[in-house]
Each structure stands twice: as structure tokens, then as C-alpha cells.
Amino acid sequence: MSNENITVANDIVVSMAYVLRIEDGQLIDQSEDDAPLEYIQGARQIIPGLEKALIGLNVGDEKIVEVKPADGYGERDPDDIVEMPRGNLPESIDLSVGKPLKMKDSESGESFKAYVVESNPETVTLDFNHPLAGRTLNFHVKIINLRQATEEELTHGHVHNDNHTH
């Protein structure tokens, strides 16, 4: 049940429609008409710059939020662009420029993405920066629904809905 008296605040489940563009107007992502993004405010599920800007909004409110890299995906780090011998990578993988590669850190087990930025017969250059690092993000959001998170959702740190219950 939604409640018209609640506004976006910590421990509130927010359902919102959004369109994300970057500074040059390029469309990056948007929610489907029948599937708004749902998250728990204050649970660090969305980028901090966006989360902060939504505090106090009501159901039906629309807002355009500009998020600088520092409050978004961070600045691009030139040290995260690495040239390595082709032999370091399995022969089976496609190393065309622009291809995302899924890598796994053998020590921590953490998986992350890298993008091929240059490909030569001997070497390949990978960019480990997030593709949106260094970008100013422009969100157009509309609040669709607000409700109090359940104890269980707060314990789990995520929203339970038709697609996800446990």
C-alpha cells in the first residue's frame, strides 16, 4: 500500500521511472514503462548523487538531476588503462576494440568488466574504468510509488517484490 503522506527518506522503498543521459545527450539507460526501478532509500543501492537529490520528493514528482562524476561513477583513472601481452589472455576470447570482457580477480574472486581499447597482434590494451566514469550524468526521474520498507527488506538491504522474494 502506498501512503500519500510519505516522501522519499531513509528506509522508504522508492519506485521510480527514469531516463539516463550523459552530458552530450546520448541515451544510456531507461526504465521500462511497466517496470520502474525499485530501491531502498539509504541502502546505497543507487549512486549517491542521485539518492541525495531525491530526498523529500512525493509520488508523482518529476525531477531532473545532474550528477557530477565524483557523486556518480568517479573520475577516469589513467592507471586503469593497461597494455598487456596477448598471451596473458585466453586465445578463445574476442579482443576486438570496444568489446567488454568479464574478468575475475583470482585472489579476491571479485568479478569486473574491462573494455578493449586497442588491439594489436602482440598486445592488447584494456580499460578497467567504469564506462560512465568521468561522465556527468543527467537523470530525469518520476516518482511512481513510495512505501515503508519491511523489516525483512531492511535486513536484506534490497526490495522484495513479485520478481524477488526470499
Q: In sequence order, what are the residues at sequence separation of 6 or more whose Cβ sits closer than 8 angstroms to the Cβ of residue 39?
A: 13, 14, 45, 46, 159
Three-state helix/strand/coil letters over 125-157: EEECCCCCCCCCEEEEEEEEEEEECCHHHHHHC
Whole-number minimum distance, CB 164 to Zn ion, in Å?
7
Interface stretch with Zn ion, choices 59-67, 118-126, 137-145, 148-156 (CB under 5 A):
148-156
Whole-number minimum distance, CB 37 to Zn ion, in Å?
17
Residue 45's CB: how many other CB atoms inside 10 A?
15
Whole-number minimum distance, CB 158 to Zn ion, in Å?
5
- What is the distance between the alpha carbons of residues 72 and 46, in angstroms, rounded to a whole number? 9
Q: Which residue is nearest to Zn ion (CB)?
A: 156
> Residues 140, 142, 147, 156: which binds Zn ion (CB under 5 A)?
156
Q: 102 or 166, CB closer to Zn ion?
A: 166
Which residues form the interface with Zn ion (CB under 5 A)? 156, 166
